[in-house]
Amino acid sequence: MCNNWDKAYSKYRWRVDLEHFSKAADYPGYFNRVIITPADVMTFENKFRTTVDGNGSFEIAGEVCFWKNYGSAQARNRVTQKLLTHLKIQDNWNRFVQAIKQASSDPSYGHFVDLRKACNQPRGFATLITFLAFYKPNEYPMVDKHIANWWVKNRAEYGYGASPDFSQRNDGWIQTYTVSQTKQNWNAYIAWEKFCNDYATRIAKNCRWNWRARDVEMAIWKVSQNSISLEVLP
């Protein structure tokens, strides 16, 4: 019943060399690791969460941003440097920390907008969700175009047919150019988050694995790019 879930998760790989950030030398002690496996990602999540809770330094947010945008060679350096320039101002970093904690405790649309402002990303979406997912991976999954593509094709089969789709461009990227698109994407994300938590519970019951919402998402991210289908669990 659980074979394909296990197979998908075990095959998850996302190789990111943080040293490829063009300004890595400007941030000693950061941008100096390679992240590949789920275990590497969990260590990275833990570092981010510890830094936020301990009121540590802002550079960790830049690392997460670069990791998330690594697949976009044309944008990853620019997006990351813009965020670091913003967050190195202490008041901005404090607002970021507060916004992460607030959105994770009460995932309302208004708190998402506050997080967006705290990141100085007026059209941002997936990167902001990544911060939320890194802070509380037990509860919050990430999202990208691969997840959005899987969601529109498969959600009905898993009992979520009434849930909204993400607003996507022709190339699949989640788009948030307007308020209505942003609200649609937030509502779709909340449904996706509910699904991942639901399936984490089903996996614990049927497979006896202690999965998080992030683990469900990582398995689906892997199958979204190949022909593996995942079992519908009771």
Q: Is 61 part of a structural domain of the chain?
A: yes
Q: What is the pLDDT of residue 58?
A: 98
- Report if residue 232 sits inside a domain: no
Entry pTM: 0.96
234 in any annotated domain: no
CA-to-CA distance for 178 and 55, rounded, in angstroms?
33
Q: How far apart are CA 21 and CA 66, in angstroms?
A: 7
Predicted pLDDT at 132: 98
Say what the pLDDT of residue 26 is.
97
The pLDDT value given to residue 55: 85
233 within domain boundaries:
no
Supply the pLDDT for residue 73: 87
Tens of pLDDT, residues 131-171: 999 999 999 999 999 999 999 999 999 999 999 999 999 99
Element at 34 (helix H, strand E): strand 34-35
Q: Write out the residue range of the structural domain in which residue 16 sits.
A: 3-223
Please check whether residue 228 lies inside any domain of the structure.
Answer: no
For 64-121, the three-class secondary structure string (H helix, E strand, C coil) is HHHHHCCCCCCCHHHHHHHHHHHHCCHHHHHHHHHHHHHHHHCCCHHHHHHHHHHCCC
Q: Does residue 230 sit within a domain?
A: no
pLDDT of residue 94: 97
Phi, psi angles (nearest 5°) of residue 90: -55, -40
Terminal Cα distance for the chain, rounded: 10
Q: In this structure, which amino acid lies at residue 44?
A: F
Q: For residues 57 and 130, what is the distance between their CA atoms, to the nearest angstrom?
A: 18
**Contact of 115 with 192, CB cutoff 8 Å:** no
pLDDT the model gives residue 163 = 98
Is 211 within the bounds of a domain? yes
For residue 167, is it within any domain? yes
CA-based nearest residue to 140, from 233, 49, 8: 49
CA distance 157 to 169: 24
**In total, how many domains does the chain have?**
1
pLDDT along the chain (234 residues), means of 10: 92 95 97 95 97 96 98 94 98 98 98 97 96 98 96 96 96 93 98 98 96 97 85 95
